[in-house]
Amino acid sequence: MKNVFFIIITCFLTPMFSQNDSITGSYYQSSGNPEGGTTTIVLPNNTFVVGYFGGMRKGTWKLIKNDAYKFTYHVEPKFVLYGRHNSKLKDSVAISMSIDGNKGVSVRFNGSSSDAFTPVFNKGANCFDYPYIYKQKEKLNSLEAFAPDYSNYLEGKLGDLPGFYSFKIEEDYNEFILAGLSEEYSEAGSFKATYKNGILSLGADTDLKKSGQYEDLDEETLSFIKSHIEIDILPKLLEYGNEFFPHYENPMATDLIPFTRLESQLNSSKAINIEATSLFIATCED
């Protein structure tokens, strides 16, 4: 879906500048590499989207004064835990790991503050075959998830660590999905820009010429953008058809029961320990 968005937006980038000098419209910024640059589309309802190869973000914008504007990104949680009761599991609990295997994610099940986290995948994992589903007999009362910030990783030490997500499970659930997004979605951020005569200036000699007017967006592109803005990537109720919902070849009625998103708390990870042994081994021979 994300790459489809990038293709649709790229096709729209033909010069269509008209007499309308509103900030709304499309702007393209080249990256200088084969994967292409980024496309920013500013909508009249004070929202915007940024599309790039492999991803897209959304946010809101407002006029500060004169020709100056502020753009603020929408922030998603780093981890979300979904749960439901599955009568077919009977006396076991299943946790599906819908996370990026290369981000060093570790988890802790029913643990105390003194217990270590367990890596989901082995160090140097390089060969993934999803889904990865961890099963246990014991009821799951809590789950905690942590991923280090590799931007602060220096000489084997972690600098300012991000917090870990803690989920308490009070419902009678026995099937779970731990879902995670890439870092850019969970990073808060904003930027300021000025707009005048069809040029969006981001500072540092970065001027983006308007590629097209909002009014000239084709119906398919506009529908796609509005849907992305209005729909949560990680919704409160995870239903069949969502990219994080389990895939079934021939689903039964029980397979289609929605998952409910559980509330989380962000805790300090300053003193946590991580085991060497992982839940899964995902290594292919060279």
Domain boundary assignment for the chain: 2-75+186-230, 79-183+235-267
* CB contact set of 104 (below 8 Å; sequence gap of 6+): 119, 147, 148, 150
Fold exhibited by the domain 2-75+186-230: Lipocalin (2.40.128)
Give the up-direction half-sphere exposure of residue 122: CA atoms within 13 A in the CB hemisphere. 10
Phi, psi of 69 (to 5 degrees): -130, 155
pLDDT tens for the chain, 286 residues: list them: 444 444 444 444 444 444 446 999 999 988 777 767 889 999 999 999 998 887 889 999 999 999 999 999 998 888 999 999 999 998 899 999 999 888 889 999 999 989 999 999 998 888 999 999 999 999 999 999 998 865 544 444 444 567 899 999 999 999 999 998 877 788 888 999 999 999 999 987 889 999 888 888 888 988 888 888 888 889 999 999 998 999 999 999 999 999 999 999 988 888 889 999 999 999 987 6
For 53-170, where are the alpha helices, taking DSSP H only?
Answer: none
pTM, full prediction: 0.79
